[in-house]
Amino acid sequence: MSHTVITTTTTTTRTSGDGVLNMGYTRTIPGLLKIGQMIALLIAVLCVHCARGWPSWAAFQYFEVGDTVVSLAVLIFFIMHLFRLQGKMPCINWPLTEFFHYSVGTVLIFIASIVAAVKAGAASALVAGSVFGFIATFLMAVSLWTSYSVTCGSHQTGAAV
């Protein structure tokens, strides 16, 4: 008498790609860089905004406006990645758009930080704001470098070498 035993194993896995929110993005290097940029830019704006006795009103207004606009753009890109919205708008080249944003934003924040450092005088809050502006510039330059390697780096064509 012969018996046949059939074993069926069923496994259920849930990938991180399910759902609307991509929390895994916050643990990636680009996600951490964006969080660091937003924090550094927010601290820089708050330092300059809360300072008393600005030696140069126009210079620090430029610093505030430039930092605020760039930090809002970083926040928009962060939300786009967090909610996977770039997949819903395929007509836009998102890596190239981020590369352009980081190119312009890095230069603007660097210029604003230099102007703030030169015009700060003895106001320690303004010096701190310019230091955080330089930190944000460094983080944006790293993001620019990583987005450049994604956007303009070598692409495999699938051809046999």
The pLDDT of residue 150: 63
Can you list the residues of the chain whose pLDDT is less than 50? 13-14, 157-158, 161
Question: What is the reported pLDDT for 13?
Answer: 46
Residue 157 lies in a domain: no
CA distances from residue 161 to 152, 157, 158 in whole angstroms, order as listed? 21, 10, 9
State residue 37 phi and psi, 5-degree precision.
Answer: -65, -45
Domain range for 148 is 26-152
At 152 the pLDDT is 65
Tokens of 78: 């962060």
- Residue 126 within any structural domain of the chain: yes
Determine, yes or no, domain membership for 105. Answer: yes
Domain count, the chain: 1
pLDDT recorded at residue 156: 52
| pLDDT number for residue 146 | 86
pLDDT at 3: 73
Query: Residue 109 carries which side chain, given as an amino acid letter?
Result: I
pLDDT digits (tens, 9 = 90+) for 28-62: 999 999 999 999 999 999 998 888 877 778 888 89
Count of other CB atoms within 10 angstroms of residue 147? 23
